[in-house]
Structure 1
Amino acid sequence: MRCVFHNPTIPKTKAMSTETEYHSKDFEWDQLREEIENDPSLRYHFQLSSQPETIQFSPSLSSHDSQAWDNFHTRHSTGKFFKERRYLLKEFPELASCDENSKVLEVGCGNGSTALPILRGKERIIVCACDCSTEALERAKELIYATNIVSVSHRFRTFHCDFSVSGFPKWLACNLCQEIFSKKGHNCFSDFSDKMRNDLNDFFSSEGNYCCMGGVDFITLIFTLSAVPLHRMPTAIAECFSVLKPGGLLLFRDYGLYDMTMLRFEPEKRVGFREYMRSDGTRSYFFCLDTVRDLFVGAGFTELELEYCCVKTVNRRNGKSMRRVWVHGKFQKPT
């Protein structure tokens, strides 16, 4: 299967790769919507439930989600199921042009298919990668450490975390540093004066703590939020906001409304409006632009880019053309 993408800032006539052309407007989303919504056989996808379900948080539900993804990555342990996201630095060129030693938090890293091109593309960038699945983290470490990337052992760190439930660890951005950022407008721990650094070090020593890394410059949320139950998404995005430095960017890509994958789900797989659960227990939500905008702006982010990517992919084995819909977004934490 061959996927094609485009960064709107790059002319389509310019050759990007010997294998791939980048574009995102193979068809119009509004035309796809009209076609789908006028098809009686697909009507169940956008009908509201007559008896809305009231969902309450339960640790057992979170444990179920993690176990489902553990099982998923165990079945796909070879890593061939996921392809390296080579388009990433073209869709998000800020990652390629960032300052040296910039810090990236890759949320929901899976087998490392997003972290790998970031580490390849910038020799001094630092990537912290988390996932709710311990099996996924093992696959990611195997993939990254098997490459010949420069100094990868010093630039790549994994940790187990379900950011929609427990939040991020304090070593990313502690409460004290977040408070200082908000009051003083500093962007990182290294920006502090010597006196401020000494005061902080004294505090951490006296409390038996250690200083955090002062927040991150970028967060990548690539096909991750859709796997989070809808009612936990606002909490998850608020957590991302809390560890991002002022002026930092959150880079988003996920499943869009009326994507081919959504239309393949049968009625009994619906677990909510635009929300589905696969037979293996993993779930997927399909976003419209308004939902994404409401979630991120509601958490305090400023919208920089938000659009549908409408791409035709071709299955080389059977020649079938399939219409994929993704949501592409860039959001900034105000300075």
Structure 2
Amino acid sequence: MDLVKDPQVPAHLAAKYEARADHYWDLFYRRNQDRFFKDRHYFEAEFPQLLAARTVLEVGCGAGNTVFPLLELNPGASIYACDFAPSAVGLVRAHPAYATTAGRVHAFVADITADDLTVHVPPGCVDACTMVFVLSAIAPEAMPRVLRRVARTLRPGAQLLFRDYAAGDLAEERLSSQGRQQQLGPNFYVRWDGTRAFYFTEVCGWLGAC
């Protein structure tokens, strides 16, 4: 797919979206609460590894759309859940099931591009890490750094389970429409609310750098 490269978002605005990414996602969850994303009930079919995992790290937990369906499938799991939007973490902690999990869910605020996750998650303890529509919200140049930070929490043989947007998606076509000043870089766009989205190809060269 040939992407429209002009007009791009001016550099000073692109820098603002990078510097205030947490602010825009915090506003997103304040505005939408738990009404935007649906609970994810496809893990048994798509990520069966989660059914046997004793310790799970959910990166970009949002309002808990992964955390609480997963607890239903694997009630014995311990789940660390992080997001860099404080309002999202507040929604997880306010969920009725959070108080009844006997401490098996630990939700915390973290910027995975900058923070050391092992402050909250013991290093080398995680059996499976989920990143569902998370990396797409991060600048491409920061993705290898993010994965290295996540890797410090994983035990040998653990798996990172990833789902995200693909290049050619209808949403990308709308964002790249002629005349829209929403492109930050190749396959990388800003939405009207300040949140960002990267659209992946099947082979991403940055993975080799992690």
TM-score range, shorter chain: 0.7 to 0.9
Aligned to 1:196: none
**Identical positions, percent:** 30
Which of 211, 219, 226 aligns to 2:129? It is: 219
Q: Secondary structure of the equivalent of 2:184?
A: strand
Aligned to 1:112: 64
Query: Structure 1 counterpart of 2:73, which letter?
Result: G
**Structure 1: unaligned runs, 5 residues or longer:** 1-36, 38-42, 175-213, 300-335
For 1:1-335, list aligned pairs within 5 A. Answer: 37=1, 43=2, 46-47=3-4, 63-77=19-33, 79-96=34-51, 98=52, 102-143=54-95, 146-147=96-97, 151-174=100-123, 214-265=124-175, 266=177, 267-291=180-204, 294-299=205-210
- Could you tell me how far 1:158 is from its partner in structure 2? 0.5
Q: CA RMSD in A?
A: 2.5
Q: Flag as ranges the 4+ runs of structure 1 deviating above 4 A.
A: 47-51, 60-63
Structure 1 contact 237–295 (Cα < 8 Å) conserved: no
* TM-score normalised per structure 2: 0.87
CA distance in 2, matches of 1:166, 1:49: 34
- Could you tell me how far 1:230 is from its partner in structure 2? 1.2
- Residue by residue over 1:255-281, the C-alpha shift from the partner in whole angstroms, topping out at 9 and shown as x without a partner, is 011111111114311111100001211
CA distance in 1, matches of 2:73, 2:79: 12
Deviates more, 1:80-89 or 1:250-259: 80-89
Structure 2 contact 118–153 (Cα < 8 Å) conserved: no
Would you say how many aligned residue pairs link Structure 1 and Structure 2? 204
**Structure 2: unaligned runs, 5 residues or longer:** none
Greater relative contact order (CA < 8 Å, ≥ 6 in sequence) = 2
CA distance in 2, matches of 1:81, 1:150: 23
- Structure index of larger Rg: 1
Structure 1 contact 89–117 (Cα < 8 Å) conserved: no
Structure 1 contact 215–245 (Cα < 8 Å) conserved: yes
Q: Secondary structure of the equivalent of 2:103?
A: helix
